[in-house]
Amino acid sequence: MLLKIAKTTAFVALTSCALNAADFNAQAEKDRLALIDYFEAKFKDPYGNKNTFFPYSTDDELKNNIISGLKHEDFSKGNYAFSKNGKVSYEEINEFPPYEEFLENGEELYNKPFANGKSFKNCFPNPDVVGDYPYFDDKKKEVVSLTSAVNTCLKDNGEKPWKTKKGKMAHLQAYFANESRDSEKKVNIQIDSKAAADAYERGKEYYYSQKGYLKLSCATCHVQGAGQRVRNESLSQLLGQTSHFPVYRLKWGAASPSNDGLGTLERRMAGCVKDQGQVPPGTESKEMKELLYFMAYMSNGMPVDGPDIRK
């Protein structure tokens, strides 16, 4: 009898342990599936569902510019996913992608030995790593972004860390992204512990919290507002918002030689927070990395699709 009880308890303990392990991403998974449902419903018939989803858009915009019937993977193209006009100019520019030279440069940086004879290969044996970042480091109890992993690799090898928004950092990440796309990697963010789930929740909190006198949150524009037009831009959707970086932006390309048009996700994020009238969190700060962790999780299962181009 005693043995039987012992066995049953062991069984219960084991199953509840196994359940917990699988459970850490339960909330995130619920959020992700709800988000997919929301966007699929929203773009199923934009004109027919105007009152529910697009009360501020014109009939002309909904009938003539917004593509209907979008499904999960379609959303990986940002606002070009749904904007007919945007899609045309996107496809034109993409015939000769303006980022080709950066890929070569990135590959060179990947192979180039550090002063100590090692190279990025020692830290990233395979360059197709993009869908696995950010991840939660359970020993250090912090989110590791691709940008911070690159800089840690440099520091660990006695090199100076790089600037995080453009230049070498963007070129190396463009090479990583392209390799990941070539090997058909998908976004694959893990939440395996309570601490990781907490970091995810803090990132989500940031995305949904209203700031400034306009009380805008990221979600105001990129969830509820997605598909609406702000001046000459259509607002992109949270789903698939991080899976195509780094990007070459026409707006960034026109500046000085030190500014070749290619930028990291952190650069884009900082710009968007500034446009909201806020001071952006540092590119390698805890806040930024947790925000990226949340956003990347929302794109789980979608193809890695960088580098890409944007207006």
Catalytic residues: 272
For residues 220 and 156, what is the distance between their CA atoms, to the nearest angstrom?
Answer: 40
Nearer to ligand HEC, 154 or 296 (CB): 296
From candidates 28, 70, 187, 221, binder to ligand HEC by CB under 6 A: 221
Stretch of 19-27, 53-61, 232-240, 255-263 lying at the interface with ligand HEC (CB under 6 A): 232-240
229: which strand partners?
234
* 181 is an interface residue for ligand HEC by CB under 6 A: no
* 119 is an interface residue for ligand HEC by CB under 6 A: no
Stretch of 97-105, 135-143, 185-193, 267-275 lying at the interface with ligand HEC (CB under 6 A): 267-275
From candidates 49, 220, 228, 259, binder to ligand HEC by CB under 6 A: 220
Contact letters for ligand HEC, residues 65-104 (x by CB under 6 A): -------------xx-------------------------
From candidates 273, 288, 296, 302, binder to ligand HEC by CB under 6 A: 273
Q: Among residues 88, 9, 82, which one has the least CA distance to residue 45?
A: 82
Nearer to ligand HEC, 25 or 264 (CB): 264
Least CB distance to ligand HEC at residue 238 (A): 8
* 268 is an interface residue for ligand HEC by CB under 6 A: yes
Least CB distance to ligand HEC at residue 122 (A): 31
Contact letters for ligand HEC, residues 237-256 (x by CB under 6 A): ----x-----x---------
Stretch of 6-14, 63-71, 114-122, 231-239 lying at the interface with ligand HEC (CB under 6 A): 231-239
Interacting residues with ligand HEC (CB under 6 A): 78-79, 216, 218, 220-222, 230, 233, 235-236, 241, 247, 268-269, 272-273, 276, 310
